[in-house]
Amino acid sequence: MRPEIRAADESWEVLAAARAWHGAGAIDDAELAAIRARFVDDRRRSRPGFRFLFFVFTLFAGQAAWAFVMTLVGVALAGRHELVLAGQLAVLAAFAAGGAEWATTAQRLRRFGVEEGLVALGLGWAGGAIVLSLGALDLRDWPALFLGAGAFAVVAAGALWRWATPLTGLLAAGALFAALYALPGARWLWIVAGAVVAWLSWRTSVDARVGPAHRRRADEILVVAVLALYAAVHVAGLRSDWFGWLRRESHLTSDVPELWRAAAWTAMAALAATLLALGVARRDRLALSLGALVGVVTAVSAIDALDLEPVWLLLVAGGLTLIAAALVLRRIFASRAERIAGGFTDRALYEADGDRSFVELAATLVALSPAPRPSEPPPGFAGEGGDFGGGGASARF
């Protein structure tokens, strides 16, 4: 990524935060103006709705261009033309990459939708070229998966490094673990790679020296790595051998040593506890969310493994426990100054009208009024005038 694009992203982050502070009343108009003068964002950006529309329109335009090229050269999808089609898709992918570079540099588009659509088209066409090339080579099963997923991982990683558009981290990490899945000892590779990639991506996501867009893509990689690591250590994978079917080695057995079962349960619980502890220690909401997800799945897996009955009663008990925990936390926050306990708060952070309750918001929507209505004045004396005078002289008041 070019240094000027990273600087613009950092300025945009500061300006977005300043607008939220101003809306919450934390800073006044003069301070907001000073921040805007200090941090200048020279990129062209669009609002979320228009950004999505521009993204979709770019995809439609790209697909129309692809259909035009296919019609022009007269090559159909049917028949043995895999290499010709792969070459065409590779050329189109190169044009899409050049268009994305032109849009982000010459046109200064960022979070606009068009450049993100061009990157998506480039990745899609590159993936199609890889698949067709492997089909022309008559590769099957694990060699095709390893080569195809590995090549796409390299392409997606290049797009992540250059433009860092949304979902490029998800695609790159997913393709990496798909390639590892095709190798012997895939379970151990997923365990080692999942732990290493999760740690590195988390460190990158909290590193202030890394640009904002790359930090967000690191969060995407962290999600994929944690889920891959959890799938590799899950106890159900030992019994059904999730990592053997591609090599025709899959088998279903209940003769799993107790030591391995205990190790799997320990790893599942340890992963959830580690993520929760990391989230609490670092005030990291993503780590907390992943830890809660892994913990819930582990609890459900334990219920299934132990054949606990009735299931509905266990679910009700779990829901009541969560509700009780939420009420306890709410009372703890309410008893602290500024509703802050241990660096956490249950209030919205720098959002307009963040202190309104859901009941107040619902009442506002029902009344169809964006702001509280003025109260009616209390009833009191209301004179209606009268007349006075006499002897031919009168007046009204």
pLDDT band of 219, cuts 50, 70, 90: very high
The pLDDT of 302-312, averaged and rounded, is 78
pLDDT, tens digit (0-9, with 9 covering 90-100), for 328-384:
888 887 888 777 777 777 666 654 444 444 333 343 333 333 444 444 454 554 455
Q: Which helix (H) or strand (E) holds 341?
A: strand 340-341
393-396 and 340-341 strand pairing: unpaired
pLDDT at 133 over 70: yes
For residue 389, the surrounding DSSP H or E stretch is: strand 387-390
Compute the distance between CA of residue 93 and CA of residue 182 in angstroms, rounded to an integer: 26
154: which residues sit within 8 A by CB, 6+ positions away? none
pLDDT of residue 117: 95
Q: What is the mean pLDDT of residues 5-17?
A: 89
Cα dihedral 43→49→50→53 (10° resolution): 130
| pLDDT over 90 (residue 251) | no
Lowest mean pLDDT among 9-18, 221-230, 305-314: 305-314
Least confident residue range of 129-143, 147-161, 292-306, 367-381: 367-381
Percent pLDDT > 90 in the chain is 39
pLDDT value at position 247?
54
Taking Cα atoms as reference points, which of 232, 214, 234 lies closest to residue 224?
232
Residue 313: band (very low, low, confident or very high) from pLDDT cuts 50, 70, 90: confident
d(CA 296, CA 321): 13
Q: How far is CA 8 from the centre of its chain?
A: 21
Contact 181, 144 (CB under 8 A): no
CA distances to 145, 172, 195, 223 from 181, in Å: 8, 14, 15, 17
Concatenated DSSP letters of 317-352: HHHHHHHHHHHHHHHHHHTSGGGEETTEESS-SS-T
Run of H or E residues at 388: strand 387-390
Lowest mean pLDDT among 18-22, 34-38, 111-115, 390-394: 390-394
CB of 197 closer than 8 Å to CB of 232: no
**Domain segments of the chain: what residues?**
175-298, 309-345
Question: Pseudo-torsion of CA 37, 38, 43, 45, nearest 10°?
Answer: -70
User: What is the pLDDT at residue 321?
Assistant: 86
More confident position, 386 or 305? 305
Q: What is the CA radius of gyration of the chain?
A: 30
CA distance 323 to 314: 14
pTM to 2 decimal places: 0.79
Residue type, 313: L
Predicted local distance difference test score (pLDDT) of residue 319: 83
- What is the pLDDT at residue 327? 87
Lowest mean pLDDT among 125-129, 187-191, 321-325, 346-350: 346-350
- Lowest mean pLDDT across 27-36, 74-83, 210-219, 381-390: 381-390
What is the C-alpha to C-alpha distance for residues 302 and 265, in angstroms, rounded to an integer?
A: 9
Highest mean pLDDT among 102-106, 253-257, 302-306: 102-106
How many Cα atoms occupy the beta-carbon half-sphere of 74 within 13 Å?
Answer: 0
**Size of the chain in residues:** 397
- Quote the tokens at residue 258: 């107790």
Phi-psi label, residue 389: left if phi above 0, alpha if psi -120 to 50, beta otherwise: left
Closest listed residue to residue 96, CA positions, set 67, 68, 126: 126
Residue 44 DSSP class: B
Q: What is the 3-state secondary structure (H, E, C) of 52-71?
A: HHHHHHHHHHHHHHHHHHHH
Compute CA distances 49 → 46, 166, 259, whole Å.
Answer: 8, 16, 54
CA distances to 56, 350, 361, 373, 376 from 368, in Å: 33, 25, 11, 10, 18
Q: Which of 47-51, 248-252, 313-317, 390-394 has the highest mean pLDDT?
A: 47-51
Segment 30-57 shows an average pLDDT of 90
- 125 contact partners, CB below 8 Å, separation of at least 6: 66, 89, 90, 92, 93, 96
Specify whether the CB–CB gap between 49 and 35 falls below 8 A: no
At residue 371, the pLDDT reads: 41
Cα(115)–Cα(128) distance, rounded to whole angstroms?
20
Task: Pick the range with the lowest mean pLDDT from 13-27, 267-281, 319-333, 383-397.
Answer: 383-397
Q: Which residues of 166-181 are buried (b: 16+ CB within 10 A; e: fewer)?
A: ebbbbbbbbbbbbbbb
